[in-house]
Every structure is written in structure tokens, then in C-alpha cells.
Amino acid sequence: MKIEEVKKLLEATGLPVAYHHFGEEKDLPFLVYYIPDSNNIAADDGVYQKVSVLRVELYTEKKDVFTEALVELVLSDFYYTKSETYIESEKMYEIIYEMEMMAE
């Protein structure tokens, strides 16, 4: 999957979506996605297969299992890990989904 396709996939949730950040303040809930890292596969002292770590972050005002389920539905073709934190200074929850994506 290409990074451009990730945005279309996430837009199917109906939530506002941006790569890495929005240029202006957004009302909650919203999604951001980005590639913070790689986990390439090596062979013969080189990169055999490029693998990108894809991070999707859901921000909500309160714990919202319905919205989480909606995001998880569009991510159902991926194996992902999920973590959650509350950002006290911003008064919002951050749900983080991390998965790997083969570069095409």
C-alpha cells in the first residue's frame, strides 16, 4: 500500500484526516498518520525489502469505543498494535495504532 492510499482508507471513517498534523486547530475527534520509522529487511549486506512503520493516531475528547471500532474496521487488513494515553495538558485521549507497510 502506498502512503497516498492510507489517507483514502482513513477518510472512510468520516473523521478529519491529515498527514502528521493539521495546519490549524481541529475539533475532536480526528486522525493523523505518518511514518516515524522503518523496519527494513536485510539481505546480502543491503536493503532487500523496504518496510515502513505506519503510525495512526486517533484523538478524542473522551473514551470513545465506537470511534475506535470504526478506525479498527478500516485497519482490519493490517496487523497492528494499539496503545492509549491521556494527554492531561490537552484534555484529550490519544489512541495509537502502529503497523508495518511494505513499500511498493
Instruction: Kindly give the interhelix angle for 3-11 and 65-74, rounded to the nearest 10 degrees.
Output: 140
Place of cell 482508507: 9
Q: CA torsion 39→1→23→82, rounded to 10°?
A: -60
| pTM strictly above 0.85 | yes
Identify whether the C-beta of residue 4 lies closer than 8 Å to the C-beta of residue 18: no
Confidence at 41, pLDDT banded by 50, 70, 90 = confident
Q: Which CATH number fits domain 3-102: 1.10.10.10, 1.25.40.10, 3.30.2000.30, 3.90.1170.50?
A: 3.30.2000.30
Count of CB atoms within 10 A of residue 18's CB? 15
46-75 pLDDT, tens per residue?
998 888 999 999 999 999 999 999 999 999
Name the residue ranges covered by the structural domains of the chain: 3-102
